[in-house]
């Protein structure tokens, strides 16, 4: 593995660990192997622990007093609460985006959508998800509201591993694609009310997929 450069120590370490969690190399509830990661990244304990503080703030790891850190478990209650808030934020982003989005931005989002569809038709889940997220980010950016975007991004870190670990059952994947087709139509028509409702419903669909993916710790208290 390529060693981390000195000028980006804890930030890049956090990014590497975040990717390991999202991709399943570090599993929920597992202790973070600090010594192993220091050797792997070519860094000392200090920047690694700063990176873990960043990830704890994002809700991805849990700091244990005098015992290091472990990957945060995902509970149904945690996901439901997070998705409910994110759904409200995404809905607002859709409403605002339709007021402010430019023709060029809509064309750029359409281009991303066409690329995403090509991966969908070939069954390529990882690049599909990456483009999917870029579309949502582009709509959020078009809303012209920095506070909204920053709040959304901080919450999105918590649930990234759900997106990457989900086994996309065909009916759910088909629904997600249908949602995105409708989103493009709303952007073209500048129909903010409908786009906002679609984005909220889209998040509810994602929660159903997450529940079927096996990444939720069902032994924890749940909220229905």
User: What is the pLDDT of the chain when averaged over all its residues?
Assistant: 88
pLDDT digits (tens, 9 = 90+) for 53-95: 999 998 899 999 888 999 998 888 888 898 899 999 999 999 9
pLDDT band at 223 (very low <50, low <70, confident <90, very high): very low
Give the model's confidence band at 50: pLDDT under 50 very low, under 70 low, under 90 confident, else very high: very high
User: For 76-213, which CATH superfamily applies?
Assistant: GntR ligand-binding domain-like (1.20.120.530)
**Reduced 3-state DSSP string for 105-167:** HHHHHHHHHHHHHHHHHHCCHHHHHHHHHHHHHHHHHHCCCHHHHHHHHHHHHHHHHHHHHCC
Global confidence as pTM: 0.78
Domain boundaries, the chain: 6-71, 76-213
Mean local confidence (pLDDT), 33-53: 95
200 neighbors 157 (Cβ within 8 angstroms) = no
The secondary structure element, H or E, covering residue 200 is helix 192-213
pLDDT in tens, 185-203: 999 999 999 999 999 998 8
CATH fold for domain 6-71: Arc Repressor Mutant, subunit A (1.10.10)
């Amino acid at each position: 593995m390529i060693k981390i450069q000195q000028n980006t120590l804890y930030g890049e370490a956090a990014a590497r660990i975040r990717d390991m969690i999202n991709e399943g190399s570090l599993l929920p509830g597992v202790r973070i192997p600090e010594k192993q990661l220091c050797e792997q990244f070519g860094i000392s304990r200090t920047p690694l622990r700063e990176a873990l503080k960043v990830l704890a703030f994002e809700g991805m790891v849990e700091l244990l007093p005098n015992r290091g850190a472990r990957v945060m478990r995902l509970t149904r209650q945690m996901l439901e609460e997070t998705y409910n808030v994110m759904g409200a934020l995404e809905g607002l982003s859709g409403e605002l985006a339709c007021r402010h989005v430019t023709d060029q931005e809509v064309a750029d989002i359409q281009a991303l959508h066409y690329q995403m569809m090509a991966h969908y038709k070939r069954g390529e889940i990882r690049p599909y998800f990456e483009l999917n997220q870029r579309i949502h980010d582009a709509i959020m950016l078009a809303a012209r509201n920095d506070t909204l975007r920053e709040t959304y991004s901080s919450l999105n870190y918590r649930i990234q591993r759900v997106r990457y670990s989900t086994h996309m059952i065909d009916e759910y994947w088909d629904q997600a694609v249908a949602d995105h087709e409708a989103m493009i139509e709303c952007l073209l028509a500048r129909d903010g009310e409908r786009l906002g409702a679609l984005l909220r419903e889209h998040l509810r669909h994602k929660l159903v997929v997450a529940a079927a993916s096996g990444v939720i710790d069902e032994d924890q208290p749940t909220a229905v």
